[in-house]
Every structure is written in structure tokens, then in C-alpha cells.
Chain A
Amino acid sequence: MSFVTVTDVFQSYGRRPIIERINVLVDEGEFISIVGASGCGKSTFLRLLLAQERPKRGEVRIDGALPAQEPGLERGIVFQRYSVFPHLTVRENVVAGECFRTRWGRLFGAERKAARDRADETLARCGLDHVADQYPATLSGGMQQRLAIGQALAAKPRVLLLDEPFGALDPGTRLSMHDFLQDLREETGMTVFMVTHDLEEAFKLGDRVLVFDKPRWDPHDPNAYGATITYDFDARDGGIPFQTLQEDTHVLLST
């Protein structure tokens, strides 16, 4: 059984269909890149995965559980902007990943101390330990996104969703963020969905690349049909598929 199952999902806003007939099976630990033209429902698909919206038809399940009604602890999210809380310091932002689930949204005593220590570890790994007591507004874009990822990971989600997380960053910062994300992935081995506009980034980071496009197009009414997944590339081994054989071929290799 796959970890994330998306079955026959259809979503529309008003009478305008956005995405239709979406079927995806994702194994635990896979990194899925999602690409496509603007307005092809990539972000809608991510919101459905996040359970911020519920699909009109079809369902999204994680680990066989019932479809979620609202966002929760099992899904972490990093947006392009506004992902960190501006009124909390950098350290408090990471601690929020642990303390927001409590009754009062705060930790006290020894728990608080332990959470702060863990937050400092996370910050050190994100390279943010020197700004722990500053407010996010004083941080650069790349640092804010690192903080957002660190905060999402502090809550230990089962699936991490990234909505164009590096879209607003300059190319150099982007590359270092790629390294950062790849390191984190090797450590945690979590399932990641990332929406991006950058094809190179999609193939570099992803195990699979899903392409959203509109297969049916009515020139008199461009909004008549929704988008769907038109390609599902295997992006491992530099994007050249079928390199690793899935079955035992019983062929004797001559040496």
C-alpha cells in the first residue's frame, strides 16, 4: 500500500474546473517535484494535499487514514512568503513547532528548557544560531526560508509540502538551499512534495517529477476543462528512466 494515495481528485472553483482526474501513488520517503504552467492547478493540488481545501470529488489519504478535514500535524508546509511568525523571535518560531499543539500554546519549566535546547540544535543545523534572538524581519529571504523549513520540521510532520519555497531567492542562495534541503532529506527521509517553476530544480531535487497541464483545450472557452497530470517522470539518475531494473532478469553477465 502506498503512503500517499490520491484517487480520482476533481476540484473546481465555482463552475470553473481547476484540476480533474488526478491519480497519484507515492511511497514513503519519495521526493515529488510538481511543475507546470501558471494556472494549471499546482498550488490547488498542494492545498488539497494540505487539506486546506477539500476536493469536490475524489480523496487524498495519507497512510491509509481517512481524508483529513483540515490542516494538521501530519502535514508540514513552507510557503513562498509569510511562512514564519513575524512577532516571534527566530528561536521562538522553532519552539512554536513543538508548543503550538499544547493546550495554551506554551511550554513551561523543564519542557520549555528542553524545547529551547532542541530548537537551538535545529537552528545550528539551519545555520541560524547566531540570529536566534532576532525577529524574522531582520533576516534575508534565504534565512527566512531556512527558518520556515526548520520550523516545519520541528513539528515532525509525516509529509512536507513546499509551495515554491525558493521562488523569491537569488540563484546563489537557491543553490545553497538545495544543498540544505538535500542534507535534511538524507537525515530525515521524509516524504516531500515541492511545487516549483524551475525545471532544473525539479529534476535535481525530485525522485519523481509530476507535470500538470491541460490535455483538453477549447479555444472558445479556455476555462472549460481543468488540468491534470500529463507526465510522471522518474527523475532519479539524472532524469534518465529505466536505468535501474526493477526485476531480476536471470541473465548471466559475461565478464
Chain B
Amino acid sequence: MITEVLTVAAEEGATEHNPIIPLWQEIVVGTIAFAILCFVLMKFVFPMMEKTFAARVDAIEGGIKRAEAAQAEANQLLEQYKAQLAEARTEAARIRDEARADAEGIRQDILAKAREESDRIIGAGQEQLAAQRESIVRELRSEVGSLAVDLAGKIVGESLADEARSRGTVERFINELGTAGSAGGRR
């Protein structure tokens, strides 16, 4: 294209300008303009952009770091809570066991006491019963003697002159009775 144009221009012979030779005025103006452009952009714009990029990276990385820290803290708290919970559970179990043991002990105590009491009551009752029985037996023995004598006098119709003899008989009889009665009462 250029060569074509150049040849065309050369053929015409009226060319005032050569496109491959720069105009010095344009070089001056262009240099000034480009210098201004570079100065403004490189001084005021692009460093700011680099700063913004860095700040953005910082913000993102900082955010990630903060999130990680929060996560770690949460995990730690969770562990702590779990540990506390486990501790509380074992404590509760211990207390429950203790209470159970206490209750068992108390029960045993009460049972023992009750048994003792009942034994004591039974013993007292038996003693009393035995004493009563003794006194009744004693009473009966004298009464039965006189009754028997009275009965025998009435039946025979004779005075019992021979008191000594008769008394001996009665005594013997009652003693036999007594041994038989006491043997029966024990049963």
C-alpha cells in the first residue's frame, strides 16, 4: 500500500510531503501530550488502582482469616460445652448412685429397726402370756383342790374325818394334774 502510494506520489511529482518523514512540529506536540498523559495516569490513576487491588486482596484474605478465627473459636466453645456436659452427666450419675446407696442404707436401717422392734414386742407378749398362764394355773390349782374336796364330801356324804389322809390324796392328784396341765400348756 505504502509503496503504491509512494510510487503514485512520485509519478505525480507534485508531492510536498513524504509520509515516512515525521513532521518535527508533530513530534514536539505529540511528545508533550504523551508525557502529560503518562504523567497523570502513572502518578494519579494506576498507583491508586494498585492500592485498591491490594486493599481488595487484603479485605478478602482478612475476611477469610476472620472467618477462620471465628470458626476455631466456635469449635473450641463447642468442645468446652461438650466437656462440661459430659462432666455434668458423670456428676449427675455419681449423685444418683450415691442417693441410691443412701436410700438402700436407710431402708436397711429401718428394716433392721423394725425387725428388732417386732422381736421385742413378740418377746414381751410371750413373757406376759407365760406370766398370766402361771398365775391362772396357780389359781386353778387351789380352786380345783377345794372344789374337788367339796365335791367328794358331798358325793360321799360323810365327813372327812381322816383329813390327813384325804389331804394327801388331794395333793397327789393336783400334782399329777399340774404336770399334765403344764405339759399341755407348753404345747
Same complex origin of A and B: no
